Amino acid sequence: MDRVRMYRRLASIAVVTALVLIYLPTLANELNLERRLFFAVHGICAQSHNLIVGGVQFPLCARDSGIYLGFMTTLGVIAGRGRWRAGRLPPLPIGLTLVGFVVIMGIDGLNSTVAELGFQALYPPRNDLRLLTGLGFGVAMAAGLLLVANHTLLAPDLIDREQAPITGWRDLGLVIGAVSVVVLAIAADQEILAWPLVLISVVGMTGVMSFAIALPISAIAGLNGRIRRPQQLLLPGSAGFLVALLLLALLARWKIELEVQGLLPPPLVP
């Protein structure tokens, strides 16, 4: 009976997911979501190298989209492996590999900047390289921020100090496999796949901003090292989220004013 119940639950989840995927493009078009999300993140992203998948322009540039898609995908794998409370650094080879992902994105970003300034670049900048290097950075960022969150917020006895977010090559292979599915979904160039990726990237970006703001709020509230239940994060998390939304709105308005005054080039509005 338990197995039958599990299969029914999985079937229900599959049906709901399929219906969401089918209806999401229609809902997004009715809400003019492409344009709304573009301006929602307008103040924190150059938006000059955006991905276009299935006719949908991503609100974040290719590199930032990769960062937050890699971040969210990696957190999903870590959660699926039951490693939310991991408190140990990855083994040295894995740690060096993650650092390598960060360095590679830095090199590609510097190369792109050199080209945009009119100097001779090492190689022609491309959106696919921006996406791939961003995905790698997002993998490293997910592992790093999870460790920061656990050691900063969790009660010491709840931290699993014997477990790392990514413990070995098998774990890293699972993460890279999941990230590869994201790459394949983008390469498929279908609107039905584009919208979930757009929303995941925006949620990831907003989540990272909210987390960065919530950390000092939790410290002021005296919650650092004392979190034992998710409910204790409600106050700093909500405050961090609201402040993040306010910052996004203010930065977007400020950038639009600069564009109207001609101090910045006009945006590539979808």
| Structural domain for 52, as ranges | 32-260
Identify the pLDDT of residue 266. Answer: 86
Per the domain annotation, does 135 fall within a domain? Answer: yes
Per the domain annotation, does 210 fall within a domain? Answer: yes
Total count of domains within the chain: 1
Q: What is the pLDDT along the chain (270 residues), one digit of tens a residue?
A: 566 777 777 778 878 878 888 888 999 999 999 999 999 999 999 898 999 999 999 999 999 999 999 999 999 999 999 999 999 999 999 999 999 999 999 999 999 999 999 999 999 999 999 999 999 999 999 999 999 999 999 999 999 999 999 999 999 999 999 999 999 999 999 999 999 999 999 999 999 999 999 999 999 999 999 999 999 999 999 999 999 999 999 999 999 999 999 988 888 888
Per the domain annotation, does 40 fall within a domain? Answer: yes
CA distances from 16 to 60, 144, 240 (A): 27, 33, 31
Identify the pLDDT of residue 247. Answer: 97
Per the domain annotation, does 4 fall within a domain? Answer: no
Per the domain annotation, does 20 fall within a domain? Answer: no
pTM, rounded to two decimals: 0.93
Is 32:18 a contact under the CB 8 Å cutoff? no
Per the domain annotation, does 152 fall within a domain? Answer: yes
Candidates 134, 155, 112; CA nearest to 51 is 134
**Separation between Cα atoms, residue 251 and residue 259, nearest integer Å:** 12
